[in-house]
């Protein structure tokens, strides 16, 4: 799964819904891969507005990347030359970085979800549904 997806998934257990600790999940034992994708600065600039930047920073740190700015880069006009370095960096992180294998743990209930062959599995055993 793309790194970007980590900003849109949280614990699937109902009782965790109201907990701030159920997002983002904690990532561990992850195997990463870079997969080249078409660079689309408009997409990156647009999606950035919808991202929870604190969650991006936390997950990046789980994966060993502590180089992100502490506050979300704002108003990145995708046609401005000055913005291309940061937009390309974000493209590289959000779209081209894939988590192939790993586990995601809910900080609230401790449930572990697994990523296999780049696919996160959020199915719960019957007693937790
Ligand atoms: Zn949970």
Give the dihedral of Cα atoms 111, 114, 120, 123; nearest 10 deg.
Answer: -50
For residue 104, report the distance from its CA to the centre of ligand 1, in Å: 10
What pTM was estimated for this model as a whole?
0.93
Q: 106 near 21, Cβ under 8 Å? A: yes
For residue 14, report the distance from its CA to the centre of ligand 1, in Å: 8
Q: Cis omega (within 30 of 0) on the bond before 33?
A: no
For residue 115, report the distance from its CA to the centre of ligand 1, in Å: 16
pLDDT for 47-101, tens place per residue?
Answer: 999 999 999 999 999 999 999 999 999 889 999 999 999 999 999 999 999 999 9
129 inside domain: no
42 inside domain: yes
28 inside domain: yes
126 inside domain: no
pLDDT for 108-119, tens place per residue?
Answer: 999 999 999 999
Domain range holding 20?
3-121
Q: 5 near 56, Cβ under 8 Å? A: no
Q: What is the number of domains present in the chain?
A: 1
- Assign 20 a pLDDT band (cuts: 50, 70, 90): very high
Looking up residue 116, the CATH number of its domain turns out to be 2.20.25.10
86 inside domain: yes
For residue 64, report the distance from its CA to the centre of ligand 1, in Å: 23
Give the dihedral of Cα atoms 12, 16, 18, 23; nearest 10 deg.
Answer: -70
């Amino acid at each position: 799964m793309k790194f970007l997806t980590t900003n849109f998934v949280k614990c699937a257990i109902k009782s965790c819904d109201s907990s701030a600790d159920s997002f983002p999940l904690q990532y561990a034992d992850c195997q990463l891969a870079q997969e080249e994708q078409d660079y689309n600065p408009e997409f990156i600039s647009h999606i950035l507005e919808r991202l929870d930047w604190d969650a991006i920073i936390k997950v990046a740190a789980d994966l060993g990347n502590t180089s992100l700015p502490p506050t979300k880069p704002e108003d990145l006009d995708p046609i401005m030359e000055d913005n291309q370095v940061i937009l390309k960096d974000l493209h590289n992180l959000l779209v081209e970085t894939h988590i192939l294998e790993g586990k995601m743990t809910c900080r609230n209930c401790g449930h572990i979800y697994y990523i296999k062959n780049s696919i996160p599995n959020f199915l719960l055993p019957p007693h937790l549904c």
